[in-house]
Amino acid sequence: MDKSTKKKENRRKHRHHDKKSEAVSIAIIGNPNCGATTLFNRMTGGIKQKGRFFECCHTAKEGPVRAHKNTTVVELPGTYSLSAYTLNDITARDILINGKPDVIVNIVDATGFERSLYLTLQLMELDIPMVVALNMMDEIRNNDIDFDLQKLEKELTVPVIPISASKNRGIHDLIHYAIEAAKYKTVPKKIDFCSGHVHTAIHSIAHLIKDDAEKAGLPIRFCCTKIVEGDEPVLKQLSLKAPELEIIDHIVSDMEHHLNTDREAAMADMRYAFIQDLASKVITRPASTTREQDRSLMIDKILTHRIFAIPIFFGIMLLIFYFTFDSIGQWLSDWLGMGIDKTVSLIDSGLSAGGAAPALHSLIINGVCAGVGSVLSFLPRIAVLFFFLSILEDSGYMPRVAFVMDKLLRKVGLSGQSIVPMLIGFGCSVPAIMATRSLPSKRDRHLTIALIPFMSCSAKLPLYAMFISAFFENNRVFIMAAIYLMGIIVSVVCALIFKHTLYKGDPVPFVLVLPPYRLPAMKSVWLRMWENIKEFIKKAFTIVFIATIVIWFLQSFDAGMNMVSDPDDSILAAIGKVAVPLFEPLGFGDWRASTALITGLSAKEAVVSTMAVLTGATDVAALSAMLIEIFTPLTAFVFMVFCLLYMPCVATLATIKKEMNGWWHAILVVLFQTTVAWIVSFIVYSVGGIFI
């Protein structure tokens, strides 16, 4: 081997070593409904972890890129711009500026190219290596639309990779170019896409703030455009002095005077003029509308009809409840229940054959198996519910729900935008409360947060299923729909009260882009469903597991630490009996019911495990039989209503405290919700007693 060949080989090995050892962080950002979540799942296989961006934003979704060691990707909240309008905008730019990812992957919806590129132009100002992922290219090609990708790359000065995230096309190339851009620090070139008075204003401000921007560690061009827009957070970060601020005001006023428009409109007009010119150069469209547009318009004539839209939505939800509780979900739950019963029986036989101590035998069978097993038996229902909700989300129907509910929600002081977090609340209150960050005003966010816990989260499903199996076997779907409807009605009444008291005023108007209807990507649907199943299983084997052990101990021993044969003599009975007078007016004065409500504060699933432990039931049939001894059909329904409405779990309270900046708000939510739960339950019990 000659010298030159050896040098080449050494350079190749060195590059290979560097590629293996250097960590690369990729940030995905795009408009809402652009396919960012699908792309994230394709790149990571749906695996999430806490990484370097966790400190910037605890809600950022981060995971390792498959088949690429030391490469991670973070999905930023969907946003239309980097202006400080909503919490999503602020969160996204905080991660980009303070988290400093190695490369940005800007996912652009090719079917809404002009709209999506508004964010792209702002990202190019951050001086961070960048790659544009042109998504939905399968739909573009199917509709005979042609993109001149080479010209687009030349104009934007960044790599443009055509992909179809839902069909897993182009992802490998995208990852390769993103890693290369990060490795060689290929930042977008400075493009003077503005002219005239806006151009003059930006360059004048750039000369003025250059030293301040460098000192603050902020990109100069980004700072200039944000200052022209009047972005307060950027002005605060730069710590400009009074003379500088006066000069900036003069520059901006002069620009507004010559253009006869305000500062924000001037920047928007400048960007959109460039985008329209670029689109005319790189896109060739057929004269007619696309098939997807025609199809979406036809479907929307029905699903967003001014009269039938809301009844159709409730009909769809009722159908989902049928599949969840009276069809597929019931069959799967019965099947899993039989498997759990056989497993418990085998464990019981093994412990008896091994001569296990009575206390240990009771702990494992009557404690752990009864508590955790009773919760796990309802897992299929949760899986089925989230499967159908994921289909609705991926199909593009959920934004339509926000659209059709806007007029109705505005009457109670909310906007249609609030419906998205509230629908997420049917899954779990924690991400639903975090999702309120996308709402544009503090009033709207706080009002929505106060109402979300009234939505029936998935943690309550095992409880409902337990009582429905015992008391309402022939009316499962209607009882479940009644419970969900009860939560919605109570939240509406509370919203009206808040509208005229704590949260006076009108909701902020919002602009919603309706994506075209698409066939859901089944892999994405399965990943969404698996995330919720995983969280449920995690709860079952952590919070519920610990709760069942504690409950078993308190139920099995008295104050003198003697094992009792009658649970009425236990420590737990003494605790539960203290709370009995509070619940007697609601019809359930048994100490076991009040104890289950107390343990439900850790996690609502714990109500089921507590009842299983306290009644000594080791399977669903035995638990149903024991519940019939404690409750009547009326008091069982009242108990479900109370569980629906009373104070949320500890995790939700912690999230409320964080999002509303203080325990005071969380304490108010606890007191308000529990009071509402007691009053509504008392009304249901009193009215029900008249007719039964």
- pLDDT (mean) for 17-36: 77
Q: At what angle do helices 633-645 and 461-471 cross, to 10 degrees?
A: 170
Residue 367 has pLDDT above 70, yes or no: no
C-alpha distance across the termini of the chain, in Å = 97
418: number of Cβ within 10 Å: 30
Please name the residues in contact with 35: beta carbons below 8 A apart, sequence gap of 6 or more: 107, 109, 135, 136, 165, 166
What distance in Å separates the CA atoms of residue 363 and residue 370, rounded to the nearest whole number?
Answer: 9
Taking the C-alpha atoms of residue 74 and residue 79, their distance in angstroms, rounded to an integer, is 15
The model's pTM is: 0.66
Q: How far apart are CA 455 and CA 452, in angstroms?
A: 5
Q: How confident is the model at residue 27 (pLDDT cuts 50, 70, 90)?
A: very high
Residue that wins the pLDDT comparison between 588 and 644: 644
Is-contact 53 43, C-beta < 8 A? no
Determine the Cα–Cα distance for residues 158 and 176; give it in Å rounded to an integer. Answer: 14
Quick one: pLDDT at residue 510?
59
b (16+ CB within 10 A) / e for 585-600: ebbbbbbbbbbbbbbb
Tally of residues, the chain: 692
How far, CA to CA in Å, does 382 sit from each of 233, 427, 625? Answer: 42, 9, 24
Judged by DSSP in three states, 236 sits in helix
Mean pLDDT of 326-351: 82
Interatomic CA distance for residues 83 and 125, integer angstroms = 13
* CB contact at 8 A, 583 and 589: yes
- pLDDT tier at 287, thresholds 50, 70, 90: low
Q: Give pLDDT, residue 128.
A: 92
* Token pair for 372: 């955790």
Q: Give the 3-state DSSP-derived string for 172-184, with helices as H, strands as E and coil as C.
A: HHHHHHHHHHHHH
443 Cβ contact partners less than 8 Å away, ≥ 6 residues apart: 503, 505, 507, 508
Q: DSSP state, 331?
A: H
Residue 605 pLDDT exceeds 90: no
Domains of the chain from N-terminus onward: 20-184 (3.40.50.300), 196-284 (1.10.287.1770), 313-691 (no CATH)
**What pLDDT is recorded for position 513?**
66
pLDDT score at 13: 46
Instruction: Tell me the pLDDT tens digit for each residue of 8-20.
Output: 454 454 444 444 4
- Summarised one tens digit per residue, pLDDT across range 214-257 is 888 888 888 998 888 888 888 888 888 888 889 999 998 998 88
> Which residues, 6 or more positions from 297, have their beta carbon under 8 angstroms from its beta carbon?
none
Residues 6+ apart with CB under 8 A from 592: 576, 610, 611, 614, 615, 630
pLDDT 10s digits, 613-637: 777 776 677 778 888 888 888 998 9
Q: How far apart (Å, rounded) are the C-alpha atoms in residues 563 and 96?
A: 59
| Alpha-carbon span 404 to 401, nearest angstrom | 5
Give pLDDT, residue 618: 64
The distance from CA 265 to its chain's CA centroid, rounded to whole angstroms, is 32
Angle between helix 220-229 and 263-282 (nearest 10): 120
pLDDT over threshold 80, residue 359: no
Instruction: Identify the band that residue 161 occupies on the pLDDT scale cut at 50, 70 and 90.
Output: very high
Enter the tokens of residue 112.
Answer: 């809404």
The 10s digit of each residue's pLDDT in 47-82 is: 776 666 655 554 567 889 988 888 999 998 888 888
The pLDDT tens digits for 75-102 are 988 888 887 667 777 788 888 888 889 9
For helices 663-691 and 442-451, angle between their N-to-C axes, nearest 10 degrees: 40
Round to whole Å and give the CA distance between 295 and 481.
31
Strands 283-284 and 160-162: unpaired
Instruction: Average the pLDDT over each of 160-164, 508-512, 524-528 and give the range with the smallest value.
Output: 508-512
Report, as an integer, the average pLDDT of 581-598. Answer: 84
Residue 284 tokens read as 């060739």
For 164, the 3-state DSSP assignment is strand
Q: How far, CA to CA in Å, does 646 sit from each of 204, 627, 678?
A: 58, 21, 8
| Confidence check: pLDDT of 549 > 50 | yes
Instruction: Please name which of 92, 77, 105 lies closest in space to residue 170, comparing C-alpha atoms.
Output: 105
Question: What is the pLDDT, as a whole number, of residue 52?
Answer: 60
Retrieve residue 236's tokens: 């605060």
SS3 of 162, please? strand
